[in-house]
Amino acid sequence: MVKPSNNKFLSLLQSNKQLLLFILLMSVFRSAVADWYSVPSGSMQPTIQVGDRIVVNKMAYDLRLPFTDITLISINTPQRGEIVVFESKAADLRLIKRVVGLPGDIVSMTDEVLKINGQQLAFEPSRKIKLPQGSPAVITATENLGAIQHRVSIDNNASNRLSNFAPIKVPAGHYLVLGDNRRHSADSRVYGFVPHHELRGKATAIAFSVDYDNYYLPRAQRFFQDLYNI
């Protein structure tokens, strides 16, 4: 004999089965296909602002079993210049950074300017990195990473201890990542290389954005922006 309480529960499931199915499918979609993440720090400025909600393609590199980290199929690998989301074991945080070095690359940095496999990246205005006293504290420069051109931010009032590093080879199955806000980003210069299995997807666009410093009002001009055309 079925208890009345069980009858009520079964009736509730039956009457809400479409809603429950929708919630299940949406959960699977967000777990394995695509999701959005909020950005709590300014390490990717000027490309990504604090308060942006970033759309992440979780199938860009691997197809994973929903709700797990188990890879079913490897689809692709990141390219230089792509923005990736990853679960960093070294930092014990979920991070978002830009891929600079691929497996086998030899990467170095001198006064903010990157060199990959012996070739200096196009970087403007690289000649203005060492600014005279009285110049603007924060400047932006344009950097070319293969087919992807993007802007970086240089805060000349911040420490330059991360502005240089000697040539280093990226190991197999790993990536060297940097934040676009070069003097305010804890990235591979702090936590080391990112192993492929920590990747969770490719950041593609800004879904929407709110201004934390202005009563959380929406930044309408940033809605639905392609991250690679800002």
74 is a catalytic site residue: no
Q: Which of 58, 97, 185, 209 is catalytic?
A: 97
Report the C-alpha gap between 153 and 133 in whole angstroms. 18
Q: Which of 91, 2, 7 is nearest to 41 (CA)?
A: 91
Q: Which of 43, 185, 188, 209 is catalytic?
A: 43
C-alpha dist (Å) from residue 78 to 67, 114, 203, 205: 22, 18, 11, 16
97 is a catalytic site residue: yes
Question: Within the chain, where are the H helices?
Answer: 4-15, 17-32, 188-191
Q: Which of 18, 92, 95, 20 is nearest to 56 (CA)?
A: 95
Q: Which of 7, 16, 62 is nearest to 24 (CA)?
A: 16
Q: Residues 74, 138: contact at Cβ < 8 Å? A: no
Catalytic residue positions?
43, 97
